[in-house]
Structure 1
Amino acid sequence: FWATIERHILIFTRSIYQIRWKFIVFHYLPLSIATLYTPIFYGYVIFIYNCTNNWDYYELLCTSPCFYQNKILGSIDWLMNIIIPAFSIVLVNLILIIRVTCRSVSVRITIQRKKKNRKMTVQLLVVSSLFLIFWLPIAITGLIQQYFSPTFLIDIQFNIFFYLIYLIQLFLPFVCLISLPELKKEIRVKLHKWRRRNLIIDGASLQMATIG
């Protein structure tokens, strides 16, 4: 999530990173907080918070952890740790696209810069779409279960929606390939060399077999 926000800083106010204390505050401090927050929070709710888990071993996910029975802890985990970061990434990326587009219109920029902005816009749109498509079903059902009906679409959520979010990591490398043509060119060159080497080896093996 912070990487999305930091992208704004790198594009529009990069000069603040030239000042050491600002670099520490806006780069290292958020990363340190994010790194420490996760083990502290889940270490407390899993190992210290007093509750008993009732696992159902016939279910794919064995039901949810017992701390979700506490409305406050469940809301903090679901909203602060899952929903808000996921949809903030979408919102911040869309804001960045708008800012870059407005800047491109108002300020004269080179053709090369326009191409870079176009690549970044495509990449951000695809990333935002991935998060929106795969997180929206589980977000809506989770909020309804947390505050209104605990069993709302629970079978579909456990069997389908919980696995959709893992597709984001599977598709992200292809997003990078779309937005980085130089990477595609490098991969194409390496594949061509690999195929050529295999053809040479196969040809040599065939020649030796014929001689033998």
Structure 2
Amino acid sequence: MDMKTFEDSKFVLHRTKFFILITLQIPAIIISLLIFAFFIKHRTTLNALQNQALLILLIVTFVELVADLPMPINYYYLGYVSPATPSYCNWWTFFEYSIHLISELLMATISIQRHALIFSPNIFQSRLNLYVLYYAPLAICVTYPFIFYFIIILIAPCDGTQWDFTSNMCGYANCYLLYDKFLGMFDWAANNGSPVVVIMLANLALVIRVIRHKRRQQGGYSWKKQRRMTVQLVLISSLYLFAWLPSLTIGVTQIMNSPIFLANIQTDYTLDFMYLISLLSPWIYIKLLPDFKRWILKKVRRDELTRNTVRPT
């Protein structure tokens, strides 16, 4: 494709997305860095297992903010993929699919583990259970997507003629999505669909269990702690459900029924919802970490006092 004569038929839409992404990306990066600084200054905060899981999620979303989002931002600024090469499209889709799936699998695993943290916290007092039931599942969530997409995207690519350099993510034209119905369905339904179902059901079950437990306990400190941990999970998981459900519904329908089903809606809008996870989750973490808010307020007040202090001459 001759980029010199290329005209962006969706210039307004692309520039709007560019400014939205840039506007949300910069503060998200700043907040993420502040949260990292908070964890470094307050290492004891990581003694709570739920905070360790949140830190892992934050690291994944931060990697997306600084390493993955610049690629769609560059596309929406130019209106075309640059560099327009098959190798770049292979790398872009491999990296973005992996990061998105890692984040989704982590959220599903955390949703299940939160039940144990709230109702059976003693189960993790055993070192064996801690590594087998807590850390090992999180490690699998991080490694499996890279291995899976490395095999089906980088090891066995097509000849490269299928890519669309005028569309975001090169038209999502990976070989397995175009020519292998089984792999395409497995990726959409099993890899991406089942974690969404787990997130939805696990959170619904958690809310029901906490409400029932509250009625039995009639308040108390344990209820306040359970409520706080439940609210944490529901807030962050709601973002995942909003980001994934529309595109998953359309994607599975396209593979099972018609490839053109809501195709324009999918490529122009719903697939971009996934970027909201990394862009908005740092703001949610502020709500999830009350000590972080107090730390920031204390530093701001200290700086104000320093500036306003009148020194004698």
Is the TM-score greater than 0.5?
A: yes
Cα distance change on mapping 1:36 and 1:26 into 2, 3 Å: same
Pairing 1:28–2:131 present = no
- 1:19 paired with 2:126, answer yes
- Percent identity reads 36
Determine whether 1:73 maps to 2:180: no
The CA distance in 2 between the partners of 1:156 and 1:169, in whole Å, is 21
Counterpart secondary structure, 1:143: helix
The 2-side partners of 1:29 and 1:135 are apart by 25
Match of 1:178 in 2: 287
Alignment of 1:130-169 (within 5 A): 130-169=239-278
| Letter paired with 1:40 | I
Q: 1:48 aligns with which of 127, 152, 155?
A: 155
- Residue 38 of structure 1, CA deviation: 1.6
1:33 is paired with a residue whose SS is helix
Question: 1:210 matched to which residue of 2?
Answer: none
Are residues 60 and 198 of structure 1, via their aligned partners in 2, closer, same or farther at CA, if it must alter by over 3 Å?
farther
d(CA) in 1 for partners of 2:262, 2:226: 41
Q: Check 1:198–1:145 CA distance in 2 against 1; reply closer, same or farther (3 A cut).
A: farther
Q: Is the 8 A contact 1:52 1:66 kept in 2?
A: no
Distance 1:10 1:118 in 2: 12
In structure 2, do the counterparts of structure 1 residues 102 and 20 end up closer, same or farther at CA, with 3 Å as the change threshold?
Answer: same
> 1:171 Cα shift?
2.0
Question: What's the counterpart of residue 205 of structure 2?
Answer: 95
Structure 1 residue 85 displacement after superposition: 1.1
Q: Distance in 1 between matches of 2:233 and 2:255?
A: 31
Residue 104 (1) aligns with residue 214 (2): yes
**How far apart are the structure 2 equivalents of 1:154 and 1:193?**
54
Q: 1:149 to 1:195 in 2, by over 3 A?
A: farther
- Tell me if the contact between 1:145 and 1:151 (Cα under 8 Å) persists in the aligned partners: yes
State the 1:12 CA deviation.
1.8
CA 1:118–1:136 in 2, change beyond 3 Å: closer, same or farther? Answer: same
Q: CA distance change for structure 1 residues 150 and 192 in 2, over 3 Å: closer, same or farther?
A: same
1:128-175 deviations in Å (ceiling 9; x for gaps): 322222222111111111111112222221222121111122222222
The match for 2:168 among 60, 63, 66 is 60
Q: Quote the offset at 1:55 in angstroms.
A: 0.8
Q: How many residues align?
A: 201
* Aligned alpha-carbon RMSD (Å): 2.4
Name the residue aligned to 2:237: 128
Q: Work out which of the two has the higher radius of gyration on C-alpha atoms and give 1 or 2.
A: 1
- Could you say what secondary structure the match of 2:158 adopts? coil
Q: TM-score, normalised by structure 1?
A: 0.82
In the TM superposition, what is the alpha-carbon distance from 1:66 to its structure 2 partner?
1.2
Note the residue ranges of structure 2 that are not aligned, 5 or more in a row: 1-107
SS of the counterpart of 1:77? helix
8 Å contact kept, 1:135–1:165: yes
Structure 1 stretches lacking a partner, 5+ long: 205-212
Runs of 4+ in 1 over 6 A off after TM superposition: none
SS at match of 2:169: coil
TM-score with structure 2 setting the length = 0.58
AA partner of residue 164 (structure 1): F
